Structure 1
Amino acid sequence: MSERLFTLLLAIFGGVYLWLGIKIEAPIAYDPLGPRIFPVVLGSFLVILCLSISIFYPMTQFQIGSRVKRLALTILFYLVTFKFLGFMLATTISVYMVARLVSSSWMEGLLTGLIVSIFFYGIFHFLLGVPLPLGTVFRIGG
């Protein structure tokens, strides 16, 4: 994959993020800047930086390693299974897979996944009051 293709994909992602950020409408004007300022600034910076990199810097070919591919697949797995498996199970499996990528044993990976998922569930559920999905796979039988 060439660097130009990668910067083009990032610029397209930034443009879509910018476009979606511009479409945000707040029902109540509680802030002078509003909720749209962060995605608009972030998308603009991403597009501007990608275009400046592709114009002003020479590009070379680079190869994506197998670890990076497996990490991308792990992130994709987490995104796809988050609502289906629920926060606890999807986070445990994903952290286990990342731990195995950095050469930890299966027991260290499993314990790390369990501890991380329980810790962040406690923070989000009890301290912040944010409801996390429990998983539709557990509601199938009853």
Structure 2
Amino acid sequence: MYDRIFAGTLLLLSGLVAWAAAQFEVPFQYEPLGPKAFPYILSALLALASLWLIFKPSADDWHPSKQVLLRLVGALVLMYVYALMYEPMGFIVATTIVGAVFSWKFGAKPVVAGVYALVMSIVSYFMLTDLLQLNVPAGAIFGG
């Protein structure tokens, strides 16, 4: 039953993602896949996964405990905070903070989590900017 409720929510979300992508006004790009294609791809994948869960729900009758639900809500709040920090603090700082908290929550020691998140953020930043040539915010607090 919970699978189908979750799947219905995901199906609704996939429709919202497709609707939001349709609202994008993107000037002509030289790339074959512009920024409008990725939300459509995400929407299609979400819809397919949702339909799979609706028609073939899991046979496992697992019910999340209160602790698991609290962790899930905490993860959602953390992702919301990440979205708020992303522009003003920039990719590296925001991703380092959120990555460190997630690593720590998954069992890493705080120092190891912080170092891992910092290295991951810096490597990801240069991969996104240099290899994929995407515009990733450096952060308004740094004058970017």
Give the structure-2-normalised TM-score: 0.69
Q: 1:69 corresponds to which residue?
A: 73
More displaced 10-residue stretch of structure 1: 2-11 or 76-85: 2-11
Larger Rg: 1
Identity %: 22
Shift of 1:113: 1.4
Determine the C-alpha separation between the residues in 1 that align with 2:117 and 2:44. Answer: 36
Q: 1:10 corresponds to which residue?
A: 10
Determine the C-alpha separation between the residues in 2 that align with 1:85 and 1:29. Answer: 28
| Per-residue deviation, residues 19-40 of structure 1 (Å, max 9, x unmatched) | 3445567765989x97666654
Q: 2:137 corresponds to which residue?
A: 133
Amino acid at match of 1:77: V
Amino acid at match of 1:19: W
Q: Which runs of 5+ in 1 are unaligned?
A: none
Q: Which structure 2 residues correspond to residues 23-62 of structure 1 after superposition, within 5 A?
A: 39-40=39-40, 42-44=42-44, 46-47=46-47, 49-51=49-51, 53-54=53-54, 57=57, 62=63
Q: 1:117 corresponds to which residue?
A: 121
Give the superposed CA RMSD: 3.5
| Per-residue deviation, residues 84-128 of structure 1 (Å, max 9, x unmatched) | 111111011011001101111111011111111111222233344
Match of 1:83 among 84, 87, 96: 87
Q: 1:92 corresponds to which residue?
A: 96
Q: Which runs of 5+ in 2 are unaligned?
A: none
Give the structure-1-normalised TM-score: 0.69
Q: 1:102 corresponds to which residue?
A: 106
